[in-house]
Structure 1
Amino acid sequence: MKMHSVLSYKEASEKLTLKQKVGQLFMPAVFINDTEEEVQQIENLIRTQAIGSICFFHSRASAATNFEGKKKVVHNEHSYNRLKQLISRYQKAAEFPLLIAIDAEWGLAMRIENTNQYPYAITLGAIHENSELIFEVGKQIAMDCKEAGIHWNLAPVVDINDNPKNPVIGYRSFGDDKNKVLSKAKAYLSGMESVGVLNSIKHFPGHGDTATDSHLGLPVITKSKKKLQENELYPFSKLIKHGVDAVMVGHLAVPALDDSENPSTTSSKIITDVLRTALEFDGVIISDALNMYAVSKKFPQKGTLESAAFIAGMDVMCFSEYVEEGIQQIINSATKERIEASFKRTWKLKEQAFADAGQEHSISSPLALNKVLAQHSLTELYGNAPIVEQIKKSNFLNLSVDNQKENLFSAAIEKQNGQCHHQLELNSIHEIRNLTADHKNIVLALFPPFVKPKNLFGLQPEILGFINEMVAQKNVLIYLFGNPYVLDILELNPSANVVVAYQDFSEFQTEAYHHFTNQIEAKGKLPVKLQNYHEKI
């Protein structure tokens, strides 16, 4: 993709008007599946307001904008080509080259279908002492971004997820150990940096220990300042010293840092006093999406949220819904010096991105990498290891709870081992109960429909009840292709045996089968603590 050249900061500072400089601080959302009318509206916004950056999302019905899930997501098989077309159009509309951003924590597939997908952070968290693999993930994602024309990956998440009920972070975190989160994040960042793609660690000051989704409401972190410094703030502090391009501020109420009940997004005590001054971060500070209800509902007047965030110390207003009003309010309320300081930081980031834009990097398939990641993340949670081999050698019941993905694991067992595959569904519980009467041993492949904990990960209570019944009465070996926190809703007895495969990718299913047939060993370590299950020592 042809890249634009960008003025030096000195040239830009002299050329741009004050209004244009403020426009450079705005990052409105743009959508792959927008209509032509909506695309033209964005082009006009870019053209008339001197927008500095845009952030791509899938559609106006996707989770990032459709919090209650009332709109139906329309899938687009040609999303990737559409992404590149829109980037080209929006760049042409811009007088000054745009920074193109996206959330690609586990690859472009987080927003763009039919693109390379890599494992979630929780899966990478299970990889034990192998920073090279995490580096490679960061590098591959960055190369995919660069190939598409994206300069800025708003990743990684460095929140320490120590709340199993966290509805929005969970699987997006490397785990609940601050040192492991730090080391994984550092390796991921180094991989991105090797390609020249910008990063943003998030969600400052730490979104891990909350049971509230900030898309819907304002989470409150009630820890003391000492505990925050020891835990939540730890990876941010260390990574800032290591060097990062940007820090994203989440929508959180943190009384120990600001007792005014201000969300961190609009808190000068958190943004300026803690992040900018105490932690000595001199890079770009970017907001989490300003459309999220945690803050948007508190500022009903158009432009006041953007202005409040800027006054608090924010540099870039991500997902601003009221760009024109926000620009005017900032001009009315901020000093020229303050505007210039944010403009300088963001323009320097733009210079950096476009300086790296011409470098070529070869892109490899994610399949080979995902295979190795699967091998190194597979985690054995055996309560009674000797029983496992007995189960494998017996005439066990080959059972699964499936999601929409093809179940290659159970199919391989049927084909290679001869045990007929049966699916556990609401309408098959009676039939499966009869089958279990003739089997002492069961191999259960569990594919939760959801990766988030809402509504029991999408598993019906009747299905869970039947699984609990089997676990209590039979020798059951579970292969879990999903979030390990699923195990907290299973009433497992101490002797239960589980293998966590984390992802339902074909590569992970294949390697899980290779583990089942003793062709490979499980090398992973559980990245989070579970309520009623412990990893073998």
Structure 2
Amino acid sequence: MVDVKKLPLDIKIGQMIMAGFPSKYYDGNMEELIEAEKIGNFILFADNMGNKNEVMELTRSIQKKLEECIGISGIISTDQEGGMVTRVREGVTVFSSNMAFAAANEYKSTFKEGKIVGEELRSLGINMNIAPVMDVNCNPKNPVIGCRSYGDDPESVSKLGIELIKGLKEKGVIAVAKHFPGHGDTSMDSHLSLPVVNHDIKRLQEVELLPFKNAIAEGADAIMSAHVLFPKVEPDKVPATLSNKVLTGLLKNKMGFKGLIVTDCMEMKAIADFYGSDKAAVKAIIAGADLICISHSKEVQKKCVKAIKAAVLNGQISEERIDQSVKKILQIKGKYNIDCNLERNSSSKDNKAFAEKISSKSITILKDNRNLIPLKGKVVSISTRAVALTGAEDKIKTENSFCHRLNSVCKGHEFEIPMNPGDDLIKGILEKCSEADRIVIGIYNASVNKNQIKLVEEISKVNPNIILVSLRNPYDILSFKEISTYVNAYEYTELSIKSTIKVLKGEIKAEGISPVKICM
């Protein structure tokens, strides 16, 4: 074990930074971060991911340079949540969203998922998964969590999230439960603004905090903070990431968490626009954070390092406080043996079959009052394309739209629409719908894209044989109470498209159970 007190201050500060970068390859940008700034940990996004061999070469190059310059291996992390937030897509098993896993209701499914994801990530040189999402999604208008959550029941969220943590841990990957104290009851995206949760501590303990409390009891090693205001806990209107009352008073002291506190990205607008990333990095450390995530800009990363060093030198942060975090970071690096890649043993064919099984079991028919499933006769297929809707998502690369894939097996008419189709397009679609036996419409967050609602309303005037498939927000049904047939797929991915079409054609039975309560 490295003697923390003997490490130079620059290296200790670098151990407390987790930085992102724009390239698929080790380059001069990375060289500068490691050599000049002594940054000791990195986070990978979709833009960093090439094929399997390229990812392995990238992580090997990072670790080699870290060993040469710093002498300490690095945490290399990513957000492999499943569903719409899946960074690695080539050479690994792609899984459904958390809400789909909850809907599938398969015993120990997330434990098995965690083992598969853990084994595959470690074989690529990635040793931290910033997952699971432990937020309880109890706000239908939540724009950023939604299907990333396991649902609106805190006990179910606890159980499924903890099983994922155990599976990842078994395969040598550090799991990070997020977003503490809970991002589930917000109506803003913290990538874009500063959300507020106004619940008192009693309600927080019963709902938002319960999954984190249970995860801590089961040995969770890392928790990520939320850029969210909790005024009943922190009356000074400081977001959780920057609040001593939240990170130290609540998480460490009251809840007894002794592991690694990781911040969400300090370049998100909830922090950058209101506090400044560099000043906030200092505040986060004072509040109790151990690992400061700065995901994108080298200039911001350098400013944060400079600000932290200045805060130590001027006495705003004691070096003993820095040592506390660095000791924890080095302990977790040793615990997970991060200085070596682990070989993959499981069968990719079996893993893919398991992923398809969960996806198939997750598809949920909320109602089919007119018995429109399975499909018969002339079918009109309508949908948007999949697009990124939140700051948490990368550019989506779904090969074909839902309507195109459905029409390829139904041989009717297809209409790929924008998120908000115009009146002329709606009118053109109506002409093909009047004589159809079935009209299948894949809606995509229709509650905030009102012309999707208008399209459905206009079609229903000429033909009631409408099957709505929600390809994202499970609460969209609240905008379509008069439609007779409604299906929830919980995500817009190749996996969910395939499973949904099987259900619509009657090839498999829809077994999904809604993980959220919907008051009709």
TM-score, with length taken from structure 1: 0.82
Determine if the alignment matches structure 1 residue 179 to structure 2 residue 163. Answer: no
2:385/2:402 contact within 8 Å kept:
no
Q: How far apart in 2 are the matches of 1:462 and 1:314?
A: 44
1:410 and 1:304, CA in 2 relative to 1: closer, same or farther beyond 3 A? closer
Determine if the alignment matches structure 1 residue 481 to structure 2 residue 456. Answer: no
The partner residue of 1:312 within 259, 283, 287 is: 287
Q: Which secondary structure state, in structure 1, belongs to the residue aligned with residue 261 of structure 2? A: strand
Determine if the alignment matches structure 1 residue 268 to structure 2 residue 280. Answer: no
Aligned to 1:398: 380
- Please tell me the residue identity of whatever aligns with 2:55: L
Q: How far apart in 2 are the matches of 1:53 and 1:108?
A: 25
Query: Displacement, 1:317?
Result: 1.0
1:28/1:323 contact within 8 Å kept:
no
1:506 and 1:29, CA in 2 relative to 1: closer, same or farther beyond 3 A? closer
1:40 and 1:422, CA in 2 relative to 1: closer, same or farther beyond 3 A? closer
1:115 and 1:290, CA in 2 relative to 1: closer, same or farther beyond 3 A? farther
- Please tell me the residue identity of whatever aligns with 2:316: S
Query: Displacement, 1:358?
Result: 5.3
Q: How far apart in 2 are the matches of 1:416 and 1:17?
A: 64
Aligned to 1:48: 36
Q: How far apart in 2 are the matches of 1:400 and 1:216?
A: 30
Aligned to 2:309: 327
2:122/2:341 contact within 8 Å kept:
no
Q: After superposition, where does 1:41-190 map in structure 2 within 5 Å? A: 41-59=29-47, 78=50, 80-94=52-66, 95=70, 96-106=72-82, 110-112=86-88, 114=90, 116=92, 117-128=94-105, 130-190=106-166
Determine if the alignment matches structure 1 residue 25 to structure 2 residue 9. Answer: no
Q: Which secondary structure state, in structure 2, belongs to the residue aligned with residue 105 of structure 1? A: strand
Query: Displacement, 1:510?
Result: 3.4
Aligned to 1:288: 264
Q: How far apart in 1 are the matches of 2:63 and 2:341?
A: 16
- Please tell me the residue identity of whatever aligns with 1:89: S
1:413 and 1:209, CA in 2 relative to 1: closer, same or farther beyond 3 A? closer
Structure 1: segments with no counterpart, 5+ residues: 1-7, 60-75, 533-537
Query: Displacement, 1:87?
Result: 2.3
Aligned residue pair count: 488
Q: How far apart in 2 are the matches of 1:135 and 1:220?
A: 32
Q: How far apart in 2 are the matches of 1:465 and 1:506?
A: 27
1:122/1:175 contact within 8 Å kept:
yes
Determine if the alignment matches structure 1 residue 374 to structure 2 residue 359. Answer: yes
Structure 2: segments with no counterpart, 5+ residues: 295-299, 387-397
Q: Which secondary structure state, in structure 2, belongs to the residue aligned with residue 387 of structure 1? A: coil
Query: Displacement, 1:102?
Result: 1.4
1:57/1:102 contact within 8 Å kept:
yes
Query: Displacement, 1:370?
Result: 2.4
Q: How far apart in 2 are the matches of 1:282 and 1:52?
A: 21
1:196 and 1:80, CA in 2 relative to 1: closer, same or farther beyond 3 A? same
Determine if the alignment matches structure 1 residue 444 to structure 2 residue 419. Answer: no
Q: How far apart in 2 are the matches of 1:44 and 1:358?
A: 24
- Please tell me the residue identity of whatever aligns with 1:304: K
1:78 and 1:152, CA in 2 relative to 1: closer, same or farther beyond 3 A? closer
Determine if the alignment matches structure 1 residue 343 to structure 2 residue 339. Answer: no
1:293 and 1:508, CA in 2 relative to 1: closer, same or farther beyond 3 A? closer
1:17 and 1:185, CA in 2 relative to 1: closer, same or farther beyond 3 A? same
1:468 and 1:406, CA in 2 relative to 1: closer, same or farther beyond 3 A? farther
Percent identical residues:
28
Query: Displacement, 1:474?
Result: 0.9
Query: Displacement, 1:19?
Result: 3.7
Q: How far apart in 2 are the matches of 1:406 and 1:93?
A: 37
1:25/1:52 contact within 8 Å kept:
yes
1:111 and 1:52, CA in 2 relative to 1: closer, same or farther beyond 3 A? same
2:83/2:148 contact within 8 Å kept:
no
- Please tell me the residue identity of whatever aligns with 1:317: I
Determine if the alignment matches structure 1 residue 387 to structure 2 residue 359. Answer: no
Q: Which secondary structure state, in structure 1, belongs to the residue aligned with residue 157 of structure 2? A: helix
Q: How far apart in 2 are the matches of 1:219 and 1:506?
A: 32
1:442 and 1:296, CA in 2 relative to 1: closer, same or farther beyond 3 A? same
1:146 and 1:438, CA in 2 relative to 1: closer, same or farther beyond 3 A? same
2:73/2:338 contact within 8 Å kept:
no
Aligned to 2:221: 245
The partner residue of 1:421 within 413, 421, 424 is: 413
